Amino acid sequence: MQRHGKAYWTLHYAMLGFFVVAALLPLFWLLKVSVTPNDLMYGEGVRLWPTRATLEHYRSVLRLGQFPLFFRNSVIVAAGTALASSVLASAAGYGFSRFRFRGKRWIIGLMLVTQMFPLVMIVAPIFRMLAPLGLTNSLTGLILVYTAFNVPFASFLMQSFFDAIPADLEEAAMLDGATRLAAACRIIVPLTLPGLAATLGFVFTAAWSELLFALMLNSSSAAVTLPVGLLVFVSKFSVDFGQMMAAGVLALLPVCVFFVFVQRYLVRGLTAGAMKG
């Protein structure tokens, strides 16, 4: 019996290790190519690490005049989308969790339907809507579009967090004279900070890595974000893999730093949202 248990855990950790290696291998290869000199890029075959490493690709990318602009645009769009979506999703999730009203099921159903359409199918209508308003080639337009597409899922995510908090806490506060808004802000919101962190992380990552709308709604370099900016390294006849991979590593850094700071709240939020009561 003990031998069977040991074999089980050995297989368990072996599978976990395989999954971790499979998940991290593309990131490792991204880093490896980013420090490989151009003269060794195709001459050494498949090696885990180049015989000679260099930071020249990073220097070239950082010296590229447009890269800091692309980086700044991505930060503005991702942060703006995360903040706007989290506020709206918190309000919607609280309403779905605490109130019963006519048409509630229809509203939830319509929000679910918006998640079923392929994005390619609705790019043209969205462009036609934004163009007369002057919101194409604009970071504001991207934030509005990303917020509209992220709010439905984020609302359901926040609803699960609110469902996990007993309504008795608010009722007790209201019996003591607090308004519902005051009870929600002072009691419920602090308890949902892990859920807000999970929602912020999801929306920030989605907005940071989105390519389709950023590519189709912008033709001006002033509003280009990092996913589109990486295409600068692809020319008609060649691809500068070294600089592209270096730019990819730099593009990953903000997301990694963000998750380092919120990982504690993120894990608590995801586990709390998975349980009710």
72-95 mean pLDDT = 92
Place of tokens 């003990």: 2
In the 8-state DSSP scheme, what is residue 66?
T
In angstroms, rounded to a whole number, what is the distance separating the alpha carbons of residues 178 and 184? 10
Cα separation values, 125 from 139, 140, 154, 215, 217, Å? 18, 18, 23, 15, 11
102-116 residue pLDDT tens: 888 888 888 888 778
What's the pLDDT score for residue 266? 63
Lowest mean pLDDT, pick from 17-26, 57-66, 151-160: 57-66
What's the pLDDT score for residue 277? 43
75-103 mean pLDDT = 90
Taking alpha carbons only, the member of 114, 140, 164, 139 closest to residue 269 is: 164
What's the pLDDT score for residue 173? 80
Amino acid at 276: K
**Mean pLDDT estimate for the chain:** 83
Of all residues in the chain, what percent carry a pLDDT higher than 70? 91
Query: How many helices (H) and strands (E) in the chain?
Result: 13, 0
What is the pLDDT confidence band of residue 145, given thresholds at 50, 70 and 90?
very high
What's the pLDDT score for residue 88? 93
In the 8-state DSSP scheme, what is residue 192?
T
pLDDT above 80 for 269: no
164-186 residue pLDDT tens: 888 888 888 888 777 888 888 88
208-250 residue pLDDT tens: 989 889 988 887 778 889 888 888 777 767 778 888 888 888 8
In angstroms, rounded to a whole number, what is the distance separating the alpha carbons of residues 124 and 179? 45
Amino acid at 164: A
Instruction: Please give the CATH number for the structural domain made up of 64-273.
Output: 1.10.3720.10
Query: Which residues have CB under 8 Å from 216's CB, separation 6+?
Result: 123, 127
What's the pLDDT score for residue 1? 42
Query: Which residues have CB under 8 Å from 197's CB, separation 6+?
Result: 262, 265, 266, 268, 269
Binning the chain into helix, strand and coil, the percentages to the nearest 5 are 75, 0, 25
Q: For residue 20, how many other CB atoms are within 10 A of its CB?
A: 10
What is the pLDDT confidence band of residue 276, given thresholds at 50, 70 and 90?
very low
pLDDT above 60 for 274: no
In angstroms, rounded to a whole number, what is the distance separating the alpha carbons of residues 137 and 67? 17
What's the pLDDT score for residue 65? 65
What's the pLDDT score for residue 265? 65
What's the pLDDT score for residue 268? 59
Taking the CA atoms of 103, 270, 166 and 176 in sequence, report the sign of the dihedral they define. negative
Cα separation values, 88 from 93, 186, 200, 220, Å? 8, 18, 12, 29
What's the pLDDT score for residue 2? 47
What's the pLDDT score for residue 236? 67
Query: Which residues have CB under 8 Å from 271's CB, separation 6+?
Result: none
Cα separation values, 71 from 168, 201, 242, Å? 46, 18, 18
Query: Which residues have CB under 8 Å from 209's CB, separation 6+?
Result: 227
Q: What is the pTM of this model?
A: 0.82
15-42 residue pLDDT tens: 999 999 998 898 898 899 888 888 887 7
Place of tokens 């806490």: 169
Q: Tell me whether residue 140 is exposed, middle or buried, using C-beta atoms within 10 angstroms of its C-beta: 0 to 12, 13 to 18, 19 or more.
A: middle
Amino acid at 18: F
Q: Where do the domains of the chain lie?
A: 1-54, 64-273
